[in-house]
Amino acid sequence: MLGLTTSVLIGLPGFATPAGATPKGDPATGTVQVKIHTPDGIPATVTLAGKTRQVAAKAPTGTSTLVSLSLPAGLYHVPPVSTTVDGVRYVGHASPPVAVVKSGAMTTVNVTYAPDGGAHHLVATDLTRTSLKLSWNAPAGARFVLRRTPGGTPVSLKTLGVGVPVKGTSAADQGLKPGTRYTYSLFTQTKHGWTGPLVSSISTTPPVGSTQATYVAAPTTLLAVPADLAAAQTTGTGVQVVLRSQVPPPLLGSAVVLPISAALPGGFLGVVTSITPDGRTLGLAAGALIDAFDYYELDVPEFSVAAAGGGGAPSATAKAAAAKAADVDCGGSAEPPRSRSRPPSRWRAISAPRSTSTSSWASRSPPARPWTSG
């Protein structure tokens, strides 16, 4: 087993929770009870930063959870944290924002999540090799600032990155590079002030003949690169991965796309089922494209698939090309995920002579628990 083998695993139902890492009764530590409150079905990951960093995670079920953490005595900041689920950005605020941990004592922190009141349902359309369009919904009278950055890191300030002109509740961006990943950060100003950013990570259409995919990643997806990972190994039920300390911990139920490595020759697309209190060691179960992407399009020669609205199993050639495409897109990422049934209204396959473009996209309001197989 990798990482901290005695850490408390905060996981979904059905996953083991081993004993805590801190010896019981250690006089140099105290206990923090983190109470997380969210709208129904919204996951959350709360970070406590001080002498050490620990996280409390809420699964994507119900409206609340209670997590107990053992921490060295001292002050721990609980910064506001955000997550975007089903197109809506939620922000969690802690009370108190600083936890005072005393040796042998217990303190409680309440973290409550609510919609930020800004733009929502940011959607990318008309993706080409050098351009794309974005649209969104927002409160009446709102103003917007849209910024673009290369790669997968959004900006935290509306003065950073490259500005993209906005017209109403839409924008068109041009002059992009083919087969390149960009991240868009949308800030909203209402009568209550500025909110955001609402984020979308997009890869433009690749050059002709390329085996890269065009995609829009789900806001909570971690498209990992080798530098993000300290270790990874397969388990009987999936993969256990240890993140580098600089990588923000993902949400329970979110997707993680792992790069090809010696331990994972085909890469891996998984869903987070457990996370240790340090936020670094994750348990992953096998996932599917719908878990990681809001839109995914791949041109594969001789791809055998049913017409629009139907099902169909990809050929061995298509599967191999898909694995190579994912590796290029995500800096060496996952093999094709396992197939699973889905309503035709949420996914679509488009066939064409000789070379087939396979396009898939999730509905604007996907199921609250996309990690459960129907």
| Digitized pLDDT (tens) for each residue of the chain, 374 residues in all | 333 323 333 444 433 333 334 444 455 899 999 999 999 999 999 999 999 999 999 999 999 999 999 999 999 999 999 999 999 999 999 999 999 999 999 999 999 999 999 999 999 999 999 999 999 999 999 999 999 999 999 999 999 999 999 999 999 999 999 999 999 999 999 999 999 999 999 999 999 888 888 999 999 999 999 999 999 999 988 999 999 999 999 999 999 999 999 999 989 999 999 999 999 999 999 999 999 999 998 876 544 333 333 344 444 444 444 444 444 333 333 333 332 323 222 233 222 222 223 333 333 333 333 332 22
252 neighbors 43 (Cβ within 8 angstroms) = yes
CA 46 and chain centroid, separation:
15
How far is the C-alpha of 222 from the C-alpha of 204, rounded, in Å?
18
Residue ranges covered by each domain of the chain: 120-208
> In Å, how far are 9, 91, 310, 341 from 44, measured between CA atoms?
15, 10, 35, 27
Q: Which is nearest to 83 in space by CA: 52, 33, 120, 134?
A: 120
Q: Does the predicted model carry a pTM greater than 0.85?
A: no
Buried (b) or exposed (e) across 82-106, using 16+ Cβ within 10 A?
Answer: bbbbbbbbbbbebeeeebebeeeee
Q: Are 57 and 251 in contact (CB under 8 A)?
A: yes
What's the CATH number of domain 120-208, 2.60.40.10, 1.10.10.1150, 1.10.3720.10, 3.30.470.10? Answer: 2.60.40.10
Distance between CA atoms of residues 218 and 88, nearest Å? 12
Q: How many Å apart are CA 125 and CA 338, to the nearest integer?
A: 27
Bridge partner residues of 189 (DSSP): 143, 194
pLDDT of residue 211: 82
